[in-house]
Amino acid sequence: MSVENQSFTILGAGGFIGAALVAWLESQGRTVHAITRGSLQALMAARRPAGHVIDCIGMTGDFRVRPLDTAEAHVGLVARCLANLQFSSFLLLSSTRVYARADTAQEDVAISLLSADPSDLYNLTKLAGEALCLACPRPEIRVARLSNVYGAGMSAETFLGQVLQEGEGTGGVVFQQSAASAKDYVNIATLVRLLPDIAVTGRSRLYNVASGRNTSHGDIAQRLQQIAGWHTCFAADAPTVLHPPIDTTRLTAEFGQVSCDLPADLPTLLSFTREIPCSPSTRPLAA
């Protein structure tokens, strides 16, 4: 089934990813219904065909102090959408953050969590939403675990958003994690092209959507010195936080290699950071 001539409903259309997805689909001539949290209830009550639904709703970095809202966004709303929406397909956006305690980041790996750790609340609720989707027998209900998404307009609640905001405000950045710390990043422009294809034609039900390679904080700091002239340094005794490389074998086999280069893209991000309330990104433990 081709993406062409398909109708899409984007939940969380006011957020960073949702807004970018709406803009991309409209630029391709697709029929798009942009749904915010305020209009979601009316959509469910209408019970009209929603076409291909992509759920971009998620909490920002305040999930630690808003646990009930986090559970509602990641689990409660997902359950109601699955029960009430008439869709051709349903794609839930999750996060590769769920691999934080894992040694490998492959879709079928067993994931360890600690319910007493407030930082794991995000992962627990995301996985509960995933479980609701994957427990449904319909093969057109899928989950995409996204790595760290960057692009113009990204949230200041993300690690990279905080770094750029600090640099633009002070002319320098003090990293609270070591230069060796590293994580995976994917460009928003690449992401919005992939998600509709996954929603409509995906042969699997769970995908990692990532570049497949980590970028170190040291590489980011060096690049910011080069392009912006900022003074960058690392806090004394800053911890090293290493995320396992994200396995993109499944994604690449179906949709081709994802090519993203954050250091090369950094010049396009300067002066564009701003806070987006509905962004599904989260604040890192150490900015």
Q: pLDDT 10s per residue in the chain (287 long)? A: 666 678 999 999 999 999 999 999 999 999 999 999 889 889 988 888 999 999 999 887 778 888 899 999 999 999 999 999 999 999 999 999 999 999 999 999 999 999 998 889 999 999 999 999 999 999 999 999 999 999 988 988 889 999 999 999 999 999 999 999 999 999 999 999 999 999 999 999 999 999 999 999 999 999 999 999 999 999 999 999 988 999 999 999 999 999 899 999 999 999 744 443 333 332 222 22
- pTM confidence score: 0.91
Q: Which CATH number fits domain 7-148+185-209: 3.40.50.720, 3.40.50.300, 3.30.70.2740, 3.40.50.2300?
A: 3.40.50.720
**CA 230 – CA 46 distance, rounded (Å):** 52
252-257 contact pairs (CB < 8 A, 24+): 252/212, 254/201, 254/202, 254/203, 254/204, 255/194, 255/197, 255/198
Q: Where are the domains of the chain?
A: 7-148+185-209
Q: Per-residue DSSP letters for 67-123?
A: HHHHHIIIIIHHHHHHHH-B-SEEEEEEEGGGGTT-S-B-TTS-----TT-GGGHHH
